[in-house]
Amino acid sequence: MTLATLSDVLQPALFGRYAVAGLVTLGWEDMRAFVAAAEAEECPVILQAGPGCRAHTPLPVLGKMFVHLAEAATVPVVAHLDHGQTLDECRQALDCGFTSLMYDGSRKPLTQNIDETARIADLAHAAGMSCEGEIGFVGYQDGDRSSGTDPGEAAKFAEDTGIDAMAISVGNVHLQQRPSGGLDEDRIAAIQALTDVPLVIHGGSGVPAAQRLRLARTTNICKFNIGTELRQAFGDALRAAINADPQRFDRIEILKDTIDPLVAAARAVLRDLKPEPAAAC
């Protein structure tokens, strides 16, 4: 069994100067493809269930899917709740087999965010699991604008919450469909100078691949969340599968054709973040 916590995979990444991909899942096809990609690349992977995924599939079902894949995997697999919204939801995720909770209090005042995130961290740690928090708000390409992370507030947040990983806002944006101008490396350096907690980048699809690779090798950014670019790969593969034979109607036969392209796309993401060949994954 290779079910792992977030700390299990991020602490080695912190000291080994690499990053682990948090791959945003929406269903069985992408989950199995992401684990297959991680096995092919011989590196850990974090399977993430965000609010959209949870609205479509109940947490108890997602937990069993994640755990089933992890138990059969040859690499560490983290079952991660992404953007948890309430204490009850986070508690339910732990009950359903999740090994990592991300509580998102980033829209709330600092004191409230600290208090609520600390409570979730205590819940996770009492169960032997991990917790990620967010300070500074990461916006959306066609929605709310970002609010950059203040380095001093980040240091206080990390210290007062006891989190295992800290998501920061440094020019990253959710749902970015094309690479942006990149992240604010001066702000990253200022945050890193005040805390040694592993750092997380949400909206990693918008970060140019070359910058992802460089930051994974040179900073405390140990986790990049990747969703949009893999959803695009799935969408392209699904359209090709349907158009290849318009007479097909069996959804299983159609969806099978999305697996190999999605594995290839995920492998490309993982390859740029994993340890250099001289280091063990």
User: If we measure between CA atoms, which residue out of 56, 121, 55, 129 comes closest to residue 96?
Assistant: 129
Which two three-digit tokens encode residue 250?
């069996």
Q: Which of 82, 104, 150, 164 is catalytic?
A: 82
Which residues on neighbouring strands pair with residue 131, listed in sequence order? 101
Q: In sequence order, what DSSP letters do the residues of 185-228 get, joined into one string?
A: HHHHHHHHTT--SPEEESSGGGS-HHHHHHHHHHSSEEEEEE-H
82 is annotated as an active-site residue: yes
CA-based torsion, 189, 270, 79, 62: positive or negative: positive
**Which residues belong to the active site?**
82
